[in-house]
Amino acid sequence: MGEREPRRCHRMVPERSLMVFSGRGNPELSARVAEKLGIELGRVDIKTFADGEIYVKYGESIRGADVFIIQPTCRPVNENLVELLIMIQAARLASAHRVTAVVPWMGYSRQDKKSCPREPITARLVADVIQAAGADRVITMDLHAGQLQGFFSVPVDHMTALSMIADYYKMKGLEDMVVVSPDAGGMKTAKRMADHLNCPVAVLSKLRPEHNVSRVMYVIGEVEGKTAIIIDDIFDTAGTLVNGVQAIMNKGAKAVYAACSHPVLSDPAYERIAESPIKEVVVTDTVPLREGVNRDKIVVLSTAGILADTIRNVFADESVSELFQGENQLF
């Protein structure tokens, strides 16, 4: 018998490890996600130098790992965005197997088209730089518009808090509900919410003369004697919200509630909400609420379970849409 021919290769299939790291944008949410996953957050040292530059160093080996970086680009938007980019690049240079940017709130997402000449499409720019930094995949929640997914050439897993918010209102047991969209563009989301609650839909007609300024013109739909729920993806200065609440109350609604996924809540939003006749504002924790402000009317639901389930399925190469029965495509 002749000698056995030596093998020309050795097939090795190392086990991948799941590692989750947090930026400084929303460490409380990151900690809750890690708890849901049954792991500890990975060690990472993040500093800001005296001149404002950001430094990142992972405190443990991430070679060959599936790395998930949780960092919403909330206030301060530009600092958190650059911090996310640096964390992605640092993970890539440290030989991570795959780097997934988990961005619950995607800053600049409202600048998704040219509304007038000589404007940028900043949402596309942000998508480009996240990919240029080295992200292999993006997980985000309740994007402002469907076309944002098309700005990426890497896979984008789009989550939604709509079912969680609907379940909250079911639990409250409100009667004679009507879901109100703040504009025509939000009608599809409002209709999905109304289907969950088995109630009708109305819509506000508004005029927006400039950024962060709106004027509600009139209410389309029947709200008299009903409990209205305004549903939106973002509450920023809350101008549209409080104007809409007043318009709905003027039409004879007995109470008005509101809900959104992303409580950006720039000044003077907290004051407007506190002084308005609105009963309650339901938000999620994709964006942390500010300290030292009046939050009596604000209820926070956690997205940690949704994000943890998504991360688990992405890591295991299992379906993400099955988590939502396909209802995560709202557009």
> What CATH number corresponds to the domain at position 181?
3.40.50.2020
Q: Is the pLDDT score of 201 beyond 60? A: yes
Residue 309: per-residue pLDDT: 96
Q: Three-state secondary structure along the chain?
A: CCCCCCCCCCCCCCCCCEEEEECCCCHHHHHHHHHHHCCCCCCEEEEECCCCCEEEEECCCCCCCEEEEECCCCCCHHHHHHHHHHHHHHHHHCCCCEEEEEECCCCCCCCCCCCCCCCCCHHHHHHHHHHHHCCCEEEEECCCCHHHHHHCCCCEEEECCHHHHHHHHHHHCCCCEEEEECCHHHHHHHHHHHHHHCCCEEEEEEEEEECCEEEEEEEECCCCCCEEEEEEEEECCCHHHHHHHHHHHHCCCCEEEEEEEEECCCCCHHHHHHHCCCCEEEEECCCCCCCCCCCCCEEEECCHHHHHHHHHHHHCCCCCHHHHCCCCCCC
Q: How many domains does the chain have?
A: 2
Residues 220 and 289 occupy one common structural domain: yes
**Per-residue pLDDT averaged across 201-211, rounded?**
77
Q: Are residues 24 and 154 in the same domain?
A: yes
User: Is the residue at 328 inside a domain?
Assistant: no
- Check whether residue 58 and residue 121 sit in a common domain: yes
Per-residue pLDDT reduced to its tens digit, 81-119? 999 999 999 999 999 999 999 999 999 999 999 888 999
Instruction: Identify the active-site residue in 114, 172, 206, 254.
Output: 206
Same domain, 152 and 248: no
Express each pLDDT in 264-303 by its tens digit: 999 999 999 999 999 999 999 999 999 999 999 999 999 9
> Does any domain span residue 6?
no
As a whole number, mean pLDDT of residues 253-260 equals 97
One domain, residues 151 and 200:
no
pLDDT at 252 over 90: yes
Q: What is the pLDDT of residue 212?
A: 56
The pLDDT confidence band at residue 5, using thresholds 50, 70 and 90, is low
> Is 216 a domain residue?
yes
Look up the domain containing 138 and give its range.
18-160+305-322
Q: Evaluate if pTM is beyond 0.85.
A: yes
In a domain, 113, yes or no: yes
Tell me, yes or no, whether 27 lies in a domain: yes
**Tens of pLDDT, residues 153-192:** 999 999 999 999 999 999 999 999 999 999 888 899 999 9
Q: Is 206 a catalytic residue?
A: yes
Report the share of the chain in percent with pLDDT over 70: 90
Q: State the chain's mean pLDDT as an integer.
A: 92
Residue 331 lies in a domain: no
